[in-house]
Protein backbone atom coordinates (compact mmCIF):
# COMPACT_ATOMS: atom_id res chain seq x y z
CA UNK A 1 0.00 0.00 0.00
CA UNK A 2 1.37 3.38 -0.96
CA UNK A 3 2.12 5.87 1.83
CA UNK A 4 -0.44 8.66 2.13
CA UNK A 5 0.55 11.70 0.14
CA UNK A 6 1.50 14.90 1.95
CA UNK A 7 -0.33 18.00 0.87
CA UNK A 8 1.88 21.06 1.55
CA UNK A 9 -1.10 23.30 0.92
CA UNK A 10 -3.37 21.70 3.54
CA UNK A 11 -4.09 24.06 6.45
CA UNK A 12 -2.08 23.44 9.61
CA UNK A 13 -4.15 21.68 12.29
CA UNK A 14 -2.27 21.34 15.61
CA UNK A 15 -4.55 18.53 16.81
CA UNK A 16 -3.54 16.47 13.77
CA UNK A 17 -0.08 17.69 12.85
CA UNK A 18 1.29 17.70 16.42
CA UNK A 19 -0.23 14.40 17.53
CA UNK A 20 2.43 12.52 19.49
CA UNK A 21 4.72 15.56 19.54
CA UNK A 22 3.20 17.84 22.15
CA UNK A 23 5.58 19.53 24.57
CA UNK A 24 5.09 22.42 27.01
CA UNK A 25 6.70 24.73 24.43
CA UNK A 26 4.18 23.73 21.77
CA UNK A 27 1.35 24.00 24.31
CA UNK A 28 2.42 27.57 25.08
CA UNK A 29 2.28 28.34 21.39
CA UNK A 30 -0.91 26.61 20.25
CA UNK A 31 -3.19 26.10 23.27
CA UNK A 32 -6.02 26.70 23.79
CA UNK A 33 -7.21 25.66 20.34
CA UNK A 34 -9.13 28.55 18.73
CA UNK A 35 -12.79 27.72 18.16
CA UNK A 36 -12.76 24.67 20.45
CA UNK A 37 -14.92 24.56 23.60
CA UNK A 38 -13.05 25.29 26.85
CA UNK A 39 -11.20 22.17 27.94
CA UNK A 40 -8.60 20.78 30.31
CA UNK A 41 -5.39 19.92 28.42
CA UNK A 42 -3.12 17.12 29.60
CA UNK A 43 -0.45 15.18 27.73
CA UNK A 44 0.74 11.58 27.80
CA UNK A 45 3.85 10.75 25.77
CA UNK A 46 3.22 13.58 23.36
CA UNK A 47 -0.47 12.83 22.84
CA UNK A 48 -2.83 15.59 23.88
CA UNK A 49 -5.72 14.56 26.14
CA UNK A 50 -8.62 16.99 26.22
CA UNK A 51 -11.45 16.67 28.71
CA UNK A 52 -14.33 18.96 29.65
CA UNK A 53 -13.91 21.16 32.69
CA UNK A 54 -15.12 19.63 35.93
CA UNK A 55 -18.76 20.01 36.89
CA UNK A 56 -19.64 22.69 39.40
CA UNK A 57 -19.73 20.22 42.32
CA UNK A 58 -16.08 19.25 41.80
CA UNK A 59 -14.99 22.83 41.16
CA UNK A 60 -16.66 23.93 44.40
CA UNK A 61 -14.97 21.10 46.34
CA UNK A 62 -11.55 21.95 44.90
CA UNK A 63 -12.05 25.62 45.79
CA UNK A 64 -13.07 24.73 49.35
CA UNK A 65 -9.99 22.57 49.79
CA UNK A 66 -7.79 25.32 48.39
CA UNK A 67 -9.21 27.73 50.98
CA UNK A 68 -8.53 25.27 53.81
CA UNK A 69 -5.01 24.47 52.64
CA UNK A 70 -3.79 27.96 51.81
CA UNK A 71 -2.88 29.20 55.30
CA UNK A 72 -1.13 26.01 56.56
CA UNK A 73 0.69 25.65 53.22
CA UNK A 74 2.00 29.20 53.54
CA UNK A 75 3.17 28.48 57.08
CA UNK A 76 5.39 25.76 55.58
CA UNK A 77 6.81 28.24 53.06
CA UNK A 78 4.73 27.07 50.11
CA UNK A 79 1.24 27.78 48.83
CA UNK A 80 -1.99 26.09 47.72
CA UNK A 81 -3.48 26.31 44.22
CA UNK A 82 -6.27 25.02 42.08
CA UNK A 83 -5.26 23.70 38.63
CA UNK A 84 -1.54 23.90 37.73
CA UNK A 85 0.50 22.42 34.89
CA UNK A 86 2.53 19.60 36.45
CA UNK A 87 5.54 18.57 34.34
CA UNK A 88 6.95 15.09 34.70
CA UNK A 89 10.32 15.40 32.92
CA UNK A 90 11.70 12.29 34.61
CA UNK A 91 9.61 10.35 32.08
CA UNK A 92 9.98 12.66 29.09
CA UNK A 93 9.40 16.24 28.07
CA UNK A 94 6.17 15.05 26.44
CA UNK A 95 4.13 14.44 29.58
CA UNK A 96 2.15 16.71 31.88
CA UNK A 97 -1.04 16.67 33.94
CA UNK A 98 -3.34 19.26 35.50
CA UNK A 99 -4.34 18.17 39.02
CA UNK A 100 -7.56 19.72 40.34
CA UNK A 101 -5.74 21.23 43.32
CA UNK A 102 -2.20 21.18 44.65
CA UNK A 103 0.25 22.40 47.26
CA UNK A 104 3.74 23.51 46.27
CA UNK A 105 6.80 23.49 48.50
CA UNK A 106 7.50 27.08 47.41
CA UNK A 107 5.20 29.67 45.82
CA UNK A 108 4.84 29.39 42.04
CA UNK A 109 5.41 33.13 41.54
CA UNK A 110 3.96 33.29 38.04
CA UNK A 111 5.41 30.09 36.60
CA UNK A 112 3.25 28.28 34.05
CA UNK A 113 5.00 24.89 34.05
CA UNK A 114 5.85 23.40 37.44
CA UNK A 115 8.19 20.38 37.79
CA UNK A 116 6.98 17.42 39.82
CA UNK A 117 9.64 17.85 42.49
CA UNK A 118 8.11 21.21 43.44
CA UNK A 119 4.84 19.56 44.55
CA UNK A 120 4.16 18.56 48.14
CA UNK A 121 0.59 17.41 47.51
CA UNK A 122 -1.61 16.85 44.46
CA UNK A 123 -5.34 16.24 44.50
CA UNK A 124 -8.00 14.99 42.13
CA UNK A 125 -11.78 15.29 42.29
CA UNK A 126 -13.24 12.10 40.84
CA UNK A 127 -15.72 12.39 37.99
CA UNK A 128 -17.47 9.73 35.95
CA UNK A 129 -15.25 10.28 32.92
CA UNK A 130 -11.98 10.27 34.88
CA UNK A 131 -12.66 7.56 37.46
CA UNK A 132 -9.98 5.14 36.26
CA UNK A 133 -7.44 7.94 35.91
CA UNK A 134 -8.15 9.25 39.42
CA UNK A 135 -8.06 5.85 41.12
CA UNK A 136 -5.38 4.04 39.10
CA UNK A 137 -3.40 5.89 36.45
CA UNK A 138 -2.72 9.29 38.01
CA UNK A 139 -1.81 8.01 41.49
CA UNK A 140 0.68 5.65 39.85
CA UNK A 141 2.18 8.51 37.83
CA UNK A 142 2.37 10.83 40.83
CA UNK A 143 3.98 8.10 42.95
CA UNK A 144 6.64 7.50 40.27
CA UNK A 145 7.26 11.24 40.24
CA UNK A 146 7.93 11.15 43.99
CA UNK A 147 5.16 13.52 45.09
CA UNK A 148 4.79 12.91 48.86
CA UNK A 149 1.00 13.19 49.21
CA UNK A 150 -2.00 12.43 47.01
CA UNK A 151 -5.55 13.44 47.95
CA UNK A 152 -8.64 12.03 46.26
CA UNK A 153 -12.10 13.57 46.68
CA UNK A 154 -15.37 12.07 45.50
CA UNK A 155 -18.54 14.15 45.48
CA UNK A 156 -21.99 12.62 45.00
CA UNK A 157 -24.03 15.77 44.95
CA UNK A 158 -27.47 14.30 44.39
CA UNK A 159 -26.98 11.99 47.38
CA UNK A 160 -25.39 14.76 49.48
CA UNK A 161 -22.36 12.58 50.10
CA UNK A 162 -18.65 13.24 49.96
CA UNK A 163 -15.46 11.35 50.76
CA UNK A 164 -11.85 12.45 51.20
CA UNK A 165 -8.78 10.19 51.13
CA UNK A 166 -5.21 11.27 51.81
CA UNK A 167 -2.47 8.89 50.71
CA UNK A 168 1.17 9.16 51.73
CA UNK A 169 4.12 7.99 49.63
CA UNK A 170 6.02 5.15 51.31
CA UNK A 171 8.68 3.11 49.51
CA UNK A 172 7.44 4.32 46.13
CA UNK A 173 3.78 3.44 46.76
CA UNK A 174 0.88 5.47 48.11
CA UNK A 175 -0.51 4.14 51.40
CA UNK A 176 -3.69 5.21 53.20
CA UNK A 177 -2.95 7.99 55.65
CA UNK A 178 -6.35 9.52 56.53
CA UNK A 179 -9.87 9.31 55.16
CA UNK A 180 -13.44 10.17 56.04
CA UNK A 181 -16.97 10.13 54.68
CA UNK A 182 -19.55 12.88 55.06
CA UNK A 183 -20.71 12.98 58.69
CA UNK A 184 -17.23 12.00 59.89
CA UNK A 185 -14.17 14.14 60.60
CA UNK A 186 -11.29 14.09 58.17
CA UNK A 187 -8.21 14.82 60.25
CA UNK A 188 -4.48 14.82 59.63
CA UNK A 189 -1.35 16.52 60.95
CA UNK A 190 0.66 15.80 57.80
CA UNK A 191 1.72 17.41 55.58
CA UNK A 192 -0.01 20.09 57.69
CA UNK A 193 -2.99 20.14 60.07
CA UNK A 194 -6.44 19.76 58.49
CA UNK A 195 -9.73 18.96 60.18
CA UNK A 196 -13.20 19.12 58.58
CA UNK A 197 -16.30 17.12 57.74
CA UNK A 198 -16.28 16.19 54.02
CA UNK A 199 -19.90 17.38 53.79
CA UNK A 200 -18.44 20.91 53.95
CA UNK A 201 -17.14 20.35 50.42
CA UNK A 202 -20.70 20.32 49.07
CA UNK A 203 -22.46 23.49 48.02
CA UNK A 204 -25.76 22.88 49.78
pTM for the whole thing? 0.85
Judge residue 61's burial from the number of C-beta atoms within 10 Å of its C-beta, 0-12 exposed, 13-18 middle, 19 or more buried.
buried
| pLDDT at residue 4, as a whole number | 47
pLDDT at residue number 77 = 97
Read off the pLDDT of residues 25-74 as tens digits, 9 standing for 90 and up: 899 898 888 888 777 888 888 888 888 777 899 999 999 999 999 999 99
Average of per-residue pLDDT across 172-183:
97
Our CA dihedral for 115, 66, 195, 132, rounded to 10 degrees, sits at: -60
Tell me the pLDDT tens digit for each residue of 93-112. 678 899 999 999 999 999 99
Amino acid sequence: MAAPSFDPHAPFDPLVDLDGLWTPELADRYLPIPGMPPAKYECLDGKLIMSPYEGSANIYAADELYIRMRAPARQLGGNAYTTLNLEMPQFSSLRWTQPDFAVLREPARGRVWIPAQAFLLVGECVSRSTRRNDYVDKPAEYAKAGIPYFMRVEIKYEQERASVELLRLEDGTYRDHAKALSGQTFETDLPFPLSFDPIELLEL
